A = this chain, B = another copy of it.
């Protein structure tokens, strides 16, 4: 599927439809590039948010060193689309099926780097790289309090780095964490820098991540690169975390009011199969741009339930409203295409190339 050029009005879209404000995307890309560069870091945006090669190319054109992918399926989709410069996969690659897929990609990418946080993964990567006669750059993932995967202490990281340095066909390139804003990041990385230096193990790359961390990059002066994804679109969670303003939110779900069963209730045609039920630390299920006093109170699979009791003006059956999702990164993954809009006109229809590429 190629992107289609289009000149129809956004008002002509069937609903629900995911639209992207192109001016806001361009501004988000430029602002965050300036911010990261201004802190002396390289910018390696995470493509899991948009999953669209053309947007990755905008990020690279603006100065990004390359991209971050979460799964091999994303790498495959982006390489297929010609994004072949500098790719980091920030997910443990386990098993022969996956290491073979990885090695098939290596010759097609200028620099393809991977992560590991345990010996099984490291040995699997080394064996695959040796089978194929290639060298793999590897970063070690650290857990500074987020509670996902990663080495638990700087000492564990140093031990695994020494193993990485010994294993054939691996090149130890440094440490990685997500997100910077996890509770112990600063102390973990200060200790790591000093322990690795004492052990004579160079740390060329220290890679941090997260859009909310963009406000606090100065707190992590040891870092050399930053990986953020959500900033390209932004969403309710980013506004609530202070990482964005409402007018930085580029993604909206256009949805039609299909019922007004009571004076205070509207039903729209976007449910959890577009908006998802993601909430984390926010209430409700999105923000209605035209009716900010409306509450997206509940979602079933294809219905959205709006509580209009706080609204003076209320939408009627047939009206179209725009909902800013709680979490844009998962909404991208629900649809086959998004509509890029400028001045009310659809400028481009982008297939979400890596949608559903979870392996």
**Chain A residues engaging chain B, CB cutoff 8 angstroms:** 14-17, 48, 70-71, 91-92, 94-95, 97-98, 117-118, 120-121, 143, 147-152, 256-262, 265, 267, 269-270, 272-274, 276-279, 298, 300-303, 305, 316-318, 329-330, 333-336, 356, 358-359
From B120, B143, B273, B336, A330 is in contact (CB under 8 Å) with B273
CA distance A318 to B97 in the complex (A): 12
Instruction: Determine the chain B residues whose CB is within 8 A of the CB of A150 once the complex forms.
Output: 259, 261
Instruction: Determine the chain B residues whose CB is within 8 A of the CB of A335 once the complex forms.
Output: 356, 358
CA distance A276 to B273 in the complex (A): 10
Known: A302-B70, A302-B91. A317 touches B261 (CB 8 A): no
Report the nearest B residue to A17, measured CB to CB: B359
Q: Are A358 and B279 in contact (CB under 8 A)?
A: no
Q: Are A333 and B259 in contact (CB under 8 A)?
A: no
CA distance A279 to B329 in the complex (A): 19
Q: Are B121 and A151 in contact (CB under 8 A)?
A: no
Known: A262-B152, A269-B94, A301-B329. A274 touches B16 (CB 8 A): no
What's the least CB distance linking A1 to chain B, in Å? 13
CA distance A265 to B149 in the complex (A): 9
Report the nearest B residue to A143, measured CB to CB: B261
CA distance A269 to B91 in the complex (A): 9
Known: A278-B277, A359-B15. A147 touches B298 (CB 8 A): yes
From B149, B256, B272, A259 is in contact (CB under 8 Å) with B149
Known: A277-B278, A302-B71, A333-B273. A258 touches B149 (CB 8 A): yes
Task: Report how many copies the assembly holds.
Answer: 2
Interface of A is mostly: loop
- A sample of 7 inter-chain contacts (CB < 8 A) reads A70-B302, A94-B256, A94-B258, A118-B260, A120-B318, A269-B359, A335-B358
What's the least CB distance linking A357 to chain B, in Å? 9
Instruction: Determine the chain B residues whose CB is within 8 A of the CB of A120 once the complex forms.
Output: 316-318
- Among A91, A120, A148, A265, the most chain B Cβ lie within 10 Å of the Cβ of A148
From B91, B259, B278, B318, A258 is in contact (CB under 8 Å) with B91
Instruction: Determine the chain B residues whose CB is within 8 A of the CB of A330 once the complex forms.
Output: 272-273, 301
Report the nearest B residue to A48, measured CB to CB: B301
From B121, B262, B269, B334, A317 is in contact (CB under 8 Å) with B121
Q: Are B279 and A277 in contact (CB under 8 A)?
A: yes
What's the least CB distance linking A76 to chain B, in Å? 12
Instruction: Determine the chain B residues whose CB is within 8 A of the CB of A317 once the complex forms.
Output: 94, 118, 120-121
From B95, B273, B276, A318 is in contact (CB under 8 Å) with B95
For the A-B complex with A91-B258, A117-B261, A269-B358 known, give 4 more contacts whose Cβ atoms are closer than 8 Å: A120-B316, A121-B317, A335-B356, A336-B356
From B16, B267, B278, A149 is in contact (CB under 8 Å) with B267
